[in-house]
Amino acid sequence: MNTSSLIGGRYRRRGGPTSGAMGGVWIAEDTKLDRIVAMKFLAHRRLMQQGAPTDFAESTARMFQREARAMARINSSRVAHLYDSDEHEGDVYIVMEYVEGESLAEHLRTGPKLPLERTVRWTRQICEGLGASSTASSGFPWRRTQPTVPRTPARLKVQ
């Protein structure tokens, strides 16, 4: 992918991706609204090139698009907001709120021990985010959630 071109006529990727099993997440600039966003790509083309059965690659792409539609219905300060969804050079992507910080797992692994009050507060915030996701998703089975500890303010957000 050419990282200097605009994606969807408005998004410019910054730096390299954080890779996952099915694609990557890029930090990008929304040139239309002048904000930083996260772009999550499903590597549909890569799945096909690596010999994944066509029906698996297609069903994965459909699941990714269903996930985007379900995520768009969520309206909660505890969940990263979905801004856009489309396709670029054969790969589908979603554009969502960028939450600068570290994953809760990373924070627990490398940060200081959490006091009980913060543990209870963060657990409540995670439950609020998951509850909002469940209510808006109408039974959609969420496969990937990642609580993130933002740099400021110190409130969790589910992505």
Q: Read off the pLDDT of each residue in 51-78 and give the average, rounded to a whole number.
A: 80
Q: Read off the pLDDT of each residue in 28-42 and give the average, rounded to a whole number.
A: 94
Integer Cα distance of 50 and 86 in angstroms = 23
| CATH code of the domain made up of 11-158 | 1.10.510.10
Please report, as a single letter, which amino acid is at residue 153: P
Integer Cα distance of 7 and 13 in angstroms = 8
How sure is the predictor about 155, in pLDDT bands with cuts at 50, 70 and 90? Answer: low
Task: For 108-129, write each residue's pLDDT tens digit.
Answer: 888 888 899 988 998 898 888 8
Average pLDDT of the chain, as a whole number: 80
Please report, as a single letter, which amino acid is at residue 114: L
Domain parsing of the chain, residue ranges:
11-158
Greatest distance between any 2 Cα atoms in the chain: 50
pTM: 0.78
For residue 150, pLDDT over 80 is answered with no
What pLDDT is attached to residue 3? 47
Q: Identify which has the larger pLDDT, 24 or 155.
A: 24
Q: In percent, how much of the chain has pLDDT > 90?
A: 25
Task: Please give the distance of CA 18 from its chain centroid, rounded to a whole number.
Answer: 11
